[in-house]
Amino acid sequence: MHVLRKMNDAFETGDPSAQLKMHTRTHDDSLEDEINAHWVDRPQQKLLNDIIAGDIIGRYFLIIGEKGTGKTSLILESMKRVNGFNVCIFDAHADPEIFRIRLGKALNFTFNEDYIGSLFSIRGPRDTTALLDIERAFKNEEGVKLLELLQQKAESLSGSGLLTMIFNSDDYWVYEKLKQLGTRLELINVRDFNRMETINALKFVRHRYFPKLEKLDDELCNAVYDLIGGRPQHITQVARHRDIMKACHQIIDRKRHGF
């Protein structure tokens, strides 16, 4: 019962992962209504809010999109709305040992390393050489099997209505793998901002970091969109610089030189 009580605490309000995410929308409470007008309301947000609040059951989901499109931010924003209640989140890993540790921390579950079964899993000196460790690092087969296991659990648990799993990835092969056996799987595709969303995001992020400066005009925001597009990661980077146009050209130069 002690173990179950500890695991139940992991699903109480106040998830630490969501708390680490900075979502303070303004440095001045008196301007909150004005700044909220510039908050980017993405089309996937309402769906994720309903999923994480428990209003949608019987399915599991894969959020897919390129790096920097704001996939994790969407999830954490939804978690913030329910204050982390009945939700836990962790970064998966292809190494089963790292995955085990992270899963245990997310569920507030302490794996007992001194049980008798662990005697059979101790690696001997012939099994811990540098060469074998390198071979394990490049062996993706374990990660694929782990993904299949998670999908099987997602299928059964979503079917019973006990749990809804959300996979989050920027690798297309994950979708190719999951769709082979996914009868309850639904895809959520996250793309870059369009022009209007970029303008709103620039004004919003700019005010967070420079609340005392003049608001950005639409002409400058349009120029930024023409230069770097609507990738949320890039929008946040340039909005944090005093010289926005210089920051845009720095991103362009990095992309041109491949780093």
pLDDT tens digits, one per residue of 9-49: 888 887 665 566 544 443 444 444 444 444 677 889 999 99
For residues 71-81, average pLDDT = 90
pLDDT range class, residue 119, cuts 50, 70, 90: very low
Round to whole Å and give the CA distance between 36 and 208. Answer: 11
**Dihedral sign of CA atoms 206, 251, 62, 142 in order:** negative
pLDDT tens digits, one per residue of 159-215: 999 999 999 999 888 999 999 988 999 999 999 999 999 999 999 899 888 888 888
pLDDT of residue 258: 67
Q: Domains of the chain, with CATH numbers?
A: 2-189 (3.40.50), 195-257 (no CATH)
Q: Model-level pTM?
A: 0.77
SS3 assignment for the chain:
CHHHHHHHHCCCCCCHHHHHCCCCCCCCHHHHHHHHCCCCCCHHHHHHHHHHCCCCCCCEEEEECCCCCCHHHHHHHHHHHCCCCCCCCCCCCCCHHHHHHHHHHHCCCCCCCCCHHHHHHCCCHHHCCHHHHHHHHCCCHHHHHHHHHHHHHHHHHHHHCCCCCEEEECCHHHHHHHHHHCCCEEEEECCCCCHHHHHHHHHHHHHHHCCCCCCCCHHHHHHHHHHHCCCHHHHHHHHCCCCHHHHHHHHHHHHHHCC
Percent of the chain with pLDDT over 90: 43
Dmax of the chain from CA atoms?
Answer: 68
pLDDT of residue 69: 92
For residues 83-107, average pLDDT = 86
Round to whole Å and give the CA distance between 208 and 34. Answer: 12
